[in-house]
Structures are given as structure tokens and as C-alpha cells.
Structure 1
Amino acid sequence: MNTQQIAERLVALCREGQYEQVYDELFADDAENIEMPAMANGPLGNAKGLDAIRAKGKAWGEAVEQVHGGSVGEPSVSGNWFSVPMSLDVTMKGQGRMQMEEMCLYQVRDGKIVREQFFYDA
């Protein structure tokens, strides 16, 4: 798949809530996940390698008490990069309800996502 096809597939799967399938189909084994600097450490911080990214996703899911809604925007593609705006209305365990908005940036190499980076107000 080329970058446009990967971007479109990621958006479709995220809209369906099929996050494990996103990892199975689209991510390279050595992919890296990068958070904002204030959030880079800890169990929900930066992750390197698909197993670490999956573990982070699992930890995130376990921290969520309830999902009230969210959205996944259209991808914008430039060369081997694409971005997708996403939002989430969620109640986190012990933290209450919050509205989250972020820009997700992805890098593609050899038909797989090798880097994802999230931009949001921390």
C-alpha cells in the first residue's frame, strides 16, 4: 500500500474502533510512538517497538472508565507522511470526564507505519 492507502485504511479502522487491527495491518515491528514532552515518560509515554505500543494501548484502555464520543477526521497526505485530527470525549478512572483533541502525525516506510506522534495541549 502507498501512503494515501495506509492513511485511508487507518482512518477507516479507527472509526470502527479496530485499533488492534491497525497495529496488525499497518505498523512495522520497529515502529515508534511519541507523545508530547510533558507526557513522554511513564506507562502512557513514548513507546518503541510494536509490542511496547500494544502494551501502551492496553494500559490506555484499562485507564478509561467510559467513552462518551469522539471523531476521526480526514487524512492529509504529503510524501511519506500523513496527519489525522482526532478527538475523544472520555471519562478516565480517577480523573473524571475530559475532552481531548489531537493531531496525529504518521510516517510511512516500505508500506508500513514506522512512526506516530501525537500533538495536543498537555
Structure 2
Amino acid sequence: MKTEQVAARLVELCRAGKFEEAQSELYADDAVSLEPEGSPQGAGGNVKGLAAIRAKSHQFHDSVEAFHGVTCTDPVVAGGWFSIVMGVDATYKGAGRIAMSEICVYQVRDGKIVHEQFFYDVEAPAA
């Protein structure tokens, strides 16, 4: 698949809440996943390999009591890279309801996602 096709499929699956299916179908076995420096412990940190990415995803989902909504923009593609903005409104165990937004950047090689990196505020933004 070309980058545009991978991006469109990822958005389709994310909008349907099928994150695990997206990982199984679209990610390379040696993909890496990066969080911002100083990100909260529940974010799972930086990991390498599809098994570690799945474990990170399960850790995130285990921290959630209830999802109230997930949004995902159309992708912006440049060569082998694409980005989306994802929003998650969820009630987290011990933290209450939080709505957050992040920029997600992906690299595609040989039809598979090999790199994902997330950008979001790790502290509340100044007013």
C-alpha cells in the first residue's frame, strides 16, 4: 500500500475504534512508538516492536473507565509521512474525565507503519 492508502485506512479504523485491528493490519513488526518527553506514566513511554506497541495500547485502555468520544482528522501526507489530529474524551481511573487532543505523526515504509510519534501537552496549557 502507498502512504495515502495506509493513512486513509488508519483513519478509517481509528474512527471506528478499531485500534488493535489497525496495529495488526498496518504496523511493521519492528515499528517504534514515541511519546513526548515528560509524558504521564499512563502513556506507556517509548517502545519498539509491535508486541510492545500492543502492550502499550492495552495499558492505555486499562487506564480508561469509559470512552465518551474519539475524533480523527483526515490525514495530511508528505512522501512517506502523514499526520492526523486525534481527540479522545474519556474518564480515566483515578483522574476523572479528560478531553485531550494530540498530533500523531507516522512514517510508512514498504506499505507498513514503521514509526509513530505523538505530540500533546503534558501539562495544562497556560491560559
TM-score (norm 2): 0.92
Query: Where do 1:1-122 residues align within 5 Å?
Result: 1-39=1-39, 44-122=44-122
The offset of 1:53, in angstroms, is 0.3
Secondary structure, counterpart of 1:94 in structure 2: coil
Q: Unaligned regions of 5+ residues in structure 1, if any?
A: none
Check whether the contact 1:40–1:46 (CA below 8 A) recurs between aligned residues: no
2:125 corresponds in structure 1 to: none
TM-score (norm 1): 0.96
Q: Unaligned regions of 5+ residues in structure 2, if any?
A: 123-127
The offset of 1:41, in angstroms, is 6.6
Name the Cα RMSD after superposition.
Answer: 1.4
Deviations 1:70-121 (A, max 9, x none): 2111000000000011101111000111111000000011110000000011
- Tell me how far apart the structure 2 counterparts of residues 98 and 73 of structure 1 sit (CA, whole Å): 19
**Which structure 1 residue ranges, 4+ long, deviate > 3 Å from structure 2?**
40-43
Give the length in aligned residue pairs: 122
